[in-house]
Structures are given as C-alpha cells and as structure tokens.
Amino acid sequence: MKAEILATGDEIRSGALVDSNSAFVADQLEANGIAVVRHTSVGDHLETLTATLIEIGRRADVAVVTGGLGPTVDDRSAEAAARAAGVEPMFNEIAWKNVESFFKTFNRPMSPSNRKQALLPSGCGVLPNAVGTAPGFFLTIERCRFFFLPGVPYEMKRMLVEQVIPELLRLQGAAALHSRVKTITTFGLPESLAGEKMEGVEAAFPGITLGLRANFPQIQIKLYGRDNDAARLDQRLRDAGRWAIERLGSHVISDNGESMETVVGRRLQAQSATLALAESCTGGLIANWLTNVAGSSTYFLFSGVTYSNQAKIAVLGVNPETIDRFGAVSEETAQEMAVGARRVAGATYGLATSGIAGPDGGSDEKPVGTVCIGFAGPKGAWGRRLTFSFGKRLMNKKVFAMAALDLLRKEMG
C-alpha cells in the first residue's frame, strides 16, 4: 500500500510555518507498515489544490491531507476535495453535530462561519474531532482513499492515531503486518559513529530496519520491525534491542525512547533522593528541562542560576579566593557551587555547571566550549572539566547541560 501526504496552506507554502505535521504522519504510517512515497505542500489556491488532489489520487493508494478545514475563506480543502471527486459540497448533519458538540463542551460562542465547517463533499465519511472545531472526512478521489484532517497539530495527531491508522490497517486487510518500533535514546556519540556501531543490525535481524533521529545533543536509535507473527516480531525486536544496547554501551540513556530528564527524574524518585543545581553557563536550561517533567517538584528543589560571581558567593557560599585563584570556570569553583547548592537546598545531590558557551569569553587555556561540572553527594564531591567544539552558543548550552545530567546519572548508579 503506497501512501502520500499533502500539507495545505499558504503559511506552509510561503515558508511562514515549518510543516511538522507531515513528519508526524509519515512516522505513524511507516511504523504501521504503510510505505510513504512522497510529501507535497501547496497553498490555499483552489485550482492548484484540486489539481494536486487528482494527481495524488492517480498515484497513491491512500493519502493523508492536513489543513484547510477551518471556518475562514482560506480554508478550501473540502471544496477542492468535492471538485476533485466530481461531487457537490453538501451540508453534512453528522459533521454539524460534531461542530455543535465541541462548542457546547468547551462552552465557547459559535460564529456563523463555523457552519461552513459542516459543508463537506457529498458521500464522504466524517472523522469526528473531539478537541477542535474542524471535523475531518474521508473519500475516494481517482483510485486513492483520502483522509482529510485539520492542520492544528494536536487535533490532527489525535484523529490520525485514533481514527485513520485503524482504518488504514483495516484497508490493508489480510496483508496486514504487525509493526513495532523500539527507540533507544543515547548521548555522547556523534550521529555518524552511532550509525557505524549499528552497522549490520539489518543483516543480523531480518525484518528489522534501522533509523537514526538526531535531537541534539541526544540521538535516538530506532529499530522498526514488521512481521505477520506478533510473538516472533516481539522476540526479534528484543534480540535486536539487546544487540544494539550492548554495542552502544554507557551511551544508552534509555531503551524506550525516554529523555535524559525523565530518566534522571525517575532515578531520583526511586532513590527518594532530591536534587539542587547551580548553573552558570547553562543559564537555567537544566532546571527548565527537569521541570518540564510533570511531578518534578517531588525531587527537584532548587537551581541557583548564578551568572555573576557575587551571586555565586552570596547564594552558594563559593569562597571568593577559589574564584580568584582558579577562575569562575574551574573544577574547583564548580565543585564548590555543587556543594553550596546541595547545602542551601538541603538536597541529596548537588550538580553545578560553569563554562564558556561563547561567542566571547574564551582563552587559549579555556576556549569557548569548555565546561566545568561539579558534583556533590552523600559520599563526597568532585569537579571535572570537559571541552566540546560545537562552536555555537545555544549548542554549547545544550551539550553542557546534557553532559552534566549524564555525569549525574552515572554517579547515581
């Protein structure tokens, strides 16, 4: 079954908006054994939209279209779909009930333009939208079954996963394959090296395909598997996962796609431990990551984002002589920052960063990209220096923050 994806809207066409919907749709389709051949984006122009639908309808077996279902005159997907299928737009009672019930549930005032959202191609099936005003629909154009979804990502995602994917799996019928994906999150290996380490996995485990997804500075190793026997598939994916984890060693953060901050948070929780940070060069990024996880208040107590030396001294109790003698960016200062954060907050662990994110502030001895990481725990404290060469300020902040969490993760055991 060959699939295509069409993202509509002048914002995407003109580059005002990055189209992240198509990647989500492609990932879901591929993970369910449906081969995605092509993505297309066009604007809101009715004739172009209609012609593109017909063109895709002649090439693909199934297609997912996002966008153009809203209440404004720019939203033209339903009209174009009707033209492409050679039918009339009609007021659809089922779609209208969906629109009405959304406004009732969320207690919002309806505007007359919302009536337009129930004007759908005659003969189409309705895909209800539980979390937005725009119902989706499906119909056949040329030889292809099209699914039209709204462009708002969280509405689209929910409707795709809950309604479109099950329907596509039904369409696949007897030819349906079970499909699974195993995601291993790593830190510390460049993408090319991670790829090299995974070489041979497809040969060793037939039916497994490899994907790498960089989410700087983390890299996800994805093992996709398909088989008509679910038990055999699970076994093969487990084996391939073990093989991969052994090769990736201590670079593996999690074997289920979880992020560093989630893994560190859960370890702290499992130990009934708490954490305090002292961040200079990372500027609050570590605290921000950790507090993105719901429930983090049970283990995250405090971060002293001490950009100035005075704050390092006043808040964390760093000895001014340490800064004078070794510099603010030094193993010694970082260690004292970690000790200070731990003491001030009464935490089990203290973790500190002091470094040079750039673009300025580097020297021969301590170039941009240098970070000193301090740790303090029940068994003692230490400082360590690392150097990275990504060059850019924001990349440095991220890799410094991730390296600090990685050392904490390993230290916690």
What part of residues 374-393 is at the interface with its own copies (CB under 8 A)?
A: 393
Stretch that binds its own copies, among 94-102, 143-151, 339-347, 377-385 (CB under 8 A): 339-347
Q: Which is nearer to its own copies, 20 or 122 (CB)?
A: 20
CB 344 within 8 A of CB 315: yes
Q: What are residue 208's DSSP bridge partners?
A: 225
CB 400 within 8 A of CB 217: no
CB 118 within 8 A of CB 95: yes
In the set 85, 268, 290, 403, which binds its own copies (CB under 8 A)?
290
Neighbours of 44 (CB within 10 A): 21
The token duo for 403 is: 């390296």
397 contributes a contact to its own copies by CB under 8 A: yes
Half-sphere exposure at residue 126, Cβ-oriented, CA atoms within 13 angstroms: 19
Task: Give which of 48, 3, 7 is closest to 151, Cα–Cα.
Answer: 7
Q: Which is nearer to its own copies, 24 or 102 (CB)?
A: 24
Determine the Cα–Cα distance for residues 158 and 214; give it in Å rounded to an integer: 24
In the set 277, 338, 399, 402, which binds its own copies (CB under 8 A)?
277
Stretch that binds its own copies, among 35-43, 77-85, 121-129, 330-338 (CB under 8 A): 35-43
363 contributes a contact to its own copies by CB under 8 A: no
Determine the Cα–Cα distance for residues 293 and 405; give it in Å rounded to an integer: 14
319 contributes a contact to its own copies by CB under 8 A: no
Q: Which is nearer to its own copies, 72 or 250 (CB)?
A: 72
Q: Which is nearer to its own copies, 90 or 311 (CB)?
A: 311
Task: Give which of 227, 220, 294, 292 is closest to 255, Cα–Cα.
Answer: 220
The token duo for 83 is: 């033209």
Could you say which residues in the range 212-251 bind its own copies, by CB under 8 A?
212-214, 222
Stretch that binds its own copies, among 240-248, 265-273, 353-361, 373-381 (CB under 8 A): 353-361
Stretch that binds its own copies, among 134-142, 246-254, 279-287, 405-413 (CB under 8 A): 279-287
Strand 380-387 versus strand 370-377 pairing type: antiparallel
The token duo for 271 is: 């130990």
Could you say which residues in the range 117-176 bind its own copies, by CB under 8 A?
none
262 contributes a contact to its own copies by CB under 8 A: no
Could you say which residues in the range 47-76 bind its own copies, by CB under 8 A?
48, 52
279 contributes a contact to its own copies by CB under 8 A: yes
22 contributes a contact to its own copies by CB under 8 A: yes
Stretch that binds its own copies, among 23-31, 92-100, 143-151, 264-272 (CB under 8 A): 23-31
Q: Give the length of the chain.
A: 413
Q: Residue 314 CB, nearest distance to its own copies (Å)?
A: 6
Backbone dihedral angles phi then psi of residue 170, each to the nearest 5 degrees:
-65, -45
Q: Residue 140 CB, nearest distance to its own copies (Å)?
A: 23
Q: Residue 322 CB, nearest distance to its own copies (Å)?
A: 18
Q: Residue 357 CB, nearest distance to its own copies (Å)?
A: 8
> What is the SS3 assignment for 142?
coil
Over the window 294 to 313, marking each residue x when it contacts its own copies by CB under 8 A and - when it does not, the resulting string is xxxx--xxxxxxxxx-xx--
Work out the widest C-alpha separation in the chain, in whole angstroms.
81
- Residue count at the site for its own copies (CB under 8 A)? 73
18 contributes a contact to its own copies by CB under 8 A: yes
400 contributes a contact to its own copies by CB under 8 A: no
Concatenated DSSP letters for 182-199? EEEEEESS-HHHHHHHTT
Task: Give which of 127, 44, 141 is closest to 83, Cα–Cα.
Answer: 141
Strand 218-227 versus strand 349-355 pairing type: unpaired
